[in-house]
Structure 1
């Protein structure tokens, strides 16, 4: 009789919850199957009246154990199954996976995920941890025009920085043409891609230049160049001052991009233009303070930073007479 009772219960359950076909199972997925199976396995409340033998066993065991619920549901109970809820959960899961596929395909600069790039507040562009980092820079001085200044670049202590050092001389070349001399500079190389194709840096999401340096108290000029192929603009750049305080301690310098002024061939122009941050080609440091003698500048890293407190867009004024293009 017990076997017949189990068989009848199984037929009743199958009629109440038909298993989906193969085609619908592909659409509904595993969430619906798990939900249906969990609903069919609902435990049944134990009968209120226990047999005398059960009471005796409970009395002998001190009521430490209860009778386990049966796995077979009662014929009078209907399994709680919601097809609508199962389908909603499955559709949410598919859309969640679809979103992940799209987001992971979006790449930002240097191959980093785009959502990480948009959230970053600071970024190291140049650092010095080995010879390959020094190869991204070139040094130059007034020796190119016959001067006597010398400049060198090497790795610092424990290969954790770059050391720019040398000797500045303001003695003019004896060529009868140059009347002034005395400068040394360090300039980053323009990044190159396949087939020597020029690349540029995009700093539009940042508003401040961020450096960690240690100097000897001399003032330096920080120069930023835009990416351009126009020959007439090869000597144009944007500049601002960097004052080192000397001593054995490092200093962190933050220069807003809005402070950089427009210059051409080392002279500040009357008409000023705002620095375009989407096509930066190189950055450089120039020493030309007209003081003869040795110098050094140690650099840990050069980066960009977003300062939420800085809201200035451009620090310099223009008039229609100086820059009529801006007032049309």
Structure 2
């Protein structure tokens, strides 16, 4: 039976789970970020630093078992203070050296936007380098974690408000 949606709905009083920050400090970098709940969104903010071979910040879901194989699309409602490219990150395996699934998205202005991305547009990457474009639905059966990452090799501050992330 096909599930209708998997929804992470962010905001005060909403049940979205305990998302956590993973920054380049795990490899010696100096980037910093934090997440806080706003009235009807999650605010992910910070500063990306390239010092000490750094360069990424991320916000990730709790470890779990997410079967995305019956979904065709990923939808995000967000706004940002920058036109930098963020990425939705899907992890089948969590060790940093194993491949991840990624797709870029970015703001066109400073107002709320909704983007819909076909899951077939995700790329398989390893440590930021694209290995393959496109992923097979079969691979999406045993996802352990979902998240957002900013790894555009640009220093500076950012703000990203996320209303929801939905798979359908």
- TM-score bracket, normalised by the shorter chain, equals 0.7 to 0.9
TM-score (norm 2): 0.84
Q: Verify the 8 A CA contact 2:25 2:54 in the aligned structure 1.
A: no
CA shift, 1:126, in A, is: 0.8
Deviation, 1:132, is: 7.3
Closer/same/farther in 2, CA of residues 267 and 138 from structure 1, 3 Å limit: same
Q: Distance in 2 between matches of 1:124 and 1:274?
A: 19
Distance 1:270 1:127, change over 3 A: closer
> How has the CA–CA distance of structure 1 residues 127 and 234 changed in structure 2, closer, same or farther, with 3 Å as cutoff?
farther
Cα RMSD for the two superposed structures: 2.6
Inter-CA distance 271–300: structure 2 relative to 1 (3 Å threshold): closer
Partner of 2:101: 238
**Does residue 299 in structure 1 map to residue 162 in structure 2?**
yes
Bigger Rg, structure 1 or 2 = 1
* More helix, by proportion: 1
Instruction: State the aligned residue count.
Output: 166
Q: Which of 165, 181, 184 is matched with 2:54 structurally?
A: 181
Q: Tell me how far apart the structure 1 counterparts of residues 75 and 31 of structure 2 sit (CA, whole Å).
A: 28
Is the Cα contact below 8 Å between 2:79 and 2:113 reproduced in 1? yes
The residue that corresponds to 2:79 in the other structure is 214
Instruction: Name 1:274's counterpart in structure 2.
Output: 136
Structure 2 runs not aligned, ≥5 long: none
Unaligned segments of structure 1, at least 5 residues: 1-113, 174-179, 192-199, 306-328
Match of 1:8 in 2: none
Please state whether the residue corresponding to 1:258 is helix, strand or coil.
helix
Deviations 1:245-281 (A, max 9, x none): 231x111111101111212222212597524232222
Deviations 1:271-325 (A, max 9, x none): 97524232222212111222222101100011112xxxxxxxxxxxxxxxxxxxx
Q: Tell me which residue corresponds to 2:146.
A: 283
User: 1:295 & 1:271 partners in 2: Cα distance?
Assistant: 27
Question: For 1:257 and 1:170, how far apart are their aligned partners in 2?
Answer: 30
Query: Higher strand fraction: Structure 1 or Structure 2?
Result: 2
Q: Which residue of 1 aligns with 2:43?
A: 163
Query: Any idea what the Cα deviations from partners look like across 1:30-80, whole Å, max 9, x if unmatched?
Result: xxxxxxxxxxxxxxxxxxxxxxxxxxxxxxxxxxxxxxxxxxxxxxxxxxx
Whether the 8 Å contact between 1:215 and 1:297 is mirrored in structure 2 is yes
SS at match of 1:147: coil
Q: Could you tell me whether the CA contact under 8 Å between 2:121 and 2:134 is conserved in 1?
A: no
Q: Which residue of 1 aligns with 2:12?
A: 130
- 1:182 to 1:207, Cα distance in 2 relative to 1, 3 A: same
**Matched position secondary structure for 1:269:** strand
1:152 match: secondary structure: strand
Which has the bigger relative contact order, CA under 8 A and spacing at least 6?
2
SS at structure 2 position matched to 1:209: strand
**Quick one: which of 88, 111, 120 aligns to 1:258?**
120
- Matched position secondary structure for 1:277: helix
Q: Which residue of 1 aligns with 2:63?
A: 190
